[in-house]
Amino acid sequence: MDANAPVGSGEAGADDLEAIRMRLRQEILATRGAPARSPPPVEGRPIDLSRSSFDRFLAEHERVAVDVWAPWCGPCRAFSPILETLARRLHPDVAFAKVNADDEPEITGRFGVEGIPTVLVFRGGRLVDRWAGAYPGEVVEERLRRALGLGTPPTRARPAR
């Protein structure tokens, strides 16, 4: 290959790019010491994300629910305990995260968030569902399970009346 030839020019360039991609993928996997989708421990609670950690978090977890919120938002504050409960209940199948809309306008703009609270649901790094508004825990759990392919929740005993 000609050292002065532009990268990606012709078939040899495409082959070289594929070889570079494969080498970089192997290096990344080797530095992690695990397969690409092995999530680091998440303790059954939402993790605060910023623009610098957002994409990495999505890449490290197969199923993610992100709460976009703000500290001044009353419905956000009321919805937060519901998501914290679901984070414990659905751990380790779903990783939960929070993004402060005021601090991270790049993320809210990227996903077209216009109202809060908004929940963004990702599977394999791809947005598969989203909604705005605070809903009861049962509704949220059912929607997450459906969007993330988790099946139905275990039956809970109802208290005697």
How, if at all, do strands 118-123 and 63-69 pair? antiparallel
Ordered per-residue pLDDT tens for the chain, 161 residues: 444 444 444 455 666 776 676 666 666 655 554 444 444 556 789 999 999 999 999 999 999 999 999 999 999 999 999 999 999 999 999 999 999 999 999 999 999 999 999 999 999 999 999 999 999 999 999 999 999 999 876 665 555 55
Q: What is the pTM of this model?
A: 0.71
Distance CA 142, CA 150 (A): 9
Catalytic pick from 49, 76, 101, 134?
A: 76
CATH number of 47-148: 3.40.30.10
Catalytic pick from 65, 73, 82, 87?
A: 73
Burial track 1-19 (b if 16+ CB lie within 10 A, e otherwise): eeeeeeeeeeeeeeebeee
Query: Catalytic residue at 123?
Result: no
Query: Catalytic residue at 56?
Result: no
Beta bridge partners of 99: 68
Distance CA 21, CA 9 (A): 16
